[in-house]
Amino acid sequence: MKHKKSVISIALATIMLISLCTVVCSASVTAADSSRKTVQAPATVGAALDSTPAIAIWKKAGPGDSFGLGFAAKSSTSNQPYFMDFDVGGPWVALGGATSDAPRIASGTPTQMVVSVRGTNGALYWKQTTDKAANWLPSATGWNKVPTGSILPGTSPAVYAFSATSIGWLVCGMDHQLYAMRFDGTYHGWTKLGGYVTATPAVVTRGTSIDVYVRGNNGANGHIYQKSNNNGAWQTTYAERTTATNVKAGTSPTASAYGTTREDIFWQGTDGLLYQTTWNQGSPWTAATTVPTTGTTVQSSPSAAAGIFNSAIDIEVGFAGANGDVFLTEYLTFPPDAPAWQTQDSAVGPP
């Protein structure tokens, strides 16, 4: 079963809600079926995507294929966040409330997905499904509010999940420093990780390790920095990823993890192109290379996820294109498809 590579025309709609927490900043999906499918939001939605589309993979257990994509985005007219289970081809589901910035998602089990947003009051809100989007907790349109903290305007909370009761967030605080929070049934308060962050963090997990990537304060030519949590402890310093030094101002990096031995970082360059650098265990980060977008202009920060398909690596990268469409480009490492980036389908305009 070959991955659902697809271009999604995202048109979304109305809303109201959401708040976040006291925080600060410095200096992850899987594949499915052979035929690409075009998915459109219902005509009644009628609003185009105006922010980074979030991508995550339903975390699947066991050997073999482990792909199943989920998407989240916000309406450009109502600011309401929406979710789509791409495994079943949609539809877009309104999650209630309103957010000023793009939502972020993560999956820790085969049936769990967590959605996190910055509320219009700056607080962190989140909700999750533990039965593959049949139901949302605390309710279809309700949200959990992290008790304290405020997130920097223009940024979103990065989220990771190991299970329904093991969830964490990385945010850029009002002082531009990076903050971390974890939840295991109880909120454990914000840990200040320092630095000076200028955009939404990106977070991935490898086994029990957590890696965070941020755009530092390097002006127009932003650099990407990394901080990791190993065995429950955060590193005290940031490592600069010197191959990622041309991150466009106002945009955020994204990252994907494949098992415990590979990570990829993607970002929108100062020239508007999509870039990639890769780490394989035992090797340094590769030189930055461009990712083909088949003539489509990248209109947002990218989002990425990776998983297993035919016992090989399958990476999906999404971004907003013209007319509010979501574009997907896919990297496969098995013949005859790879190793190579796959050609995208033509975009379908919003309804």
pLDDT at 344: 54
pLDDT in tens, 4-42: 433 333 333 322 233 333 333 333 222 222 222 223 332
Beta-ladder partners of 277: 265
Contact in structure between 263 and 280 (CB atoms under 8 Å): no
Say what the pTM is: 0.84
Count the neighbouring beta carbons within 10 Å of the beta carbon of residue 46: 16
Taking every pair of Cα atoms in the chain, the longest distance, rounded to a whole number of angstroms, is: 51
Match 């379908």 to its residue by tokens: 348
pLDDT digit string (tens) for 160-180? 999 999 999 999 999 999 999
User: How confident is the model at residue 198, as a pLDDT?
Assistant: 93
* Cα distance from N-terminal residue to C-terminal residue, the chain: 30
Give the rounded percent of residues in the chain with a pLDDT score beyond 70: 77
Mention every residue, 6+ apart, whose C-beta is less than 8 A from residue 152: 23, 24, 25, 171, 172, 173, 174, 176
| DSSP state, residue 221 | S
- Per-residue pLDDT of 177-192, as tens digits, reads 999 999 999 999 999 9
pLDDT (tens digit per residue) in 74-89: 887 788 999 988 878 7
Q: What is the mean pLDDT of residues 303-313?
A: 80
Q: What is the pLDDT of residue 308?
A: 76
Q: What does residue 2 show for φ and ψ, rounded to 5 degrees? A: -90, 145
Q: Which CATH class is domain 8-216+293-341?
A: mainly beta
Question: What mean pLDDT comes out for the span 153-166?
Answer: 95
pLDDT of amino acid 338: 58
pLDDT for 51: 58
pLDDT for 45: 28
Asked if residue 130 has pLDDT above 70, the reply is yes
Asked if residue 3 has pLDDT above 70, the reply is no
How many CB atoms neighbour CB 131 within 10 A?
10
- What tokens does 221 get? 């030519």
8 Å CB contact between 43 and 79: no
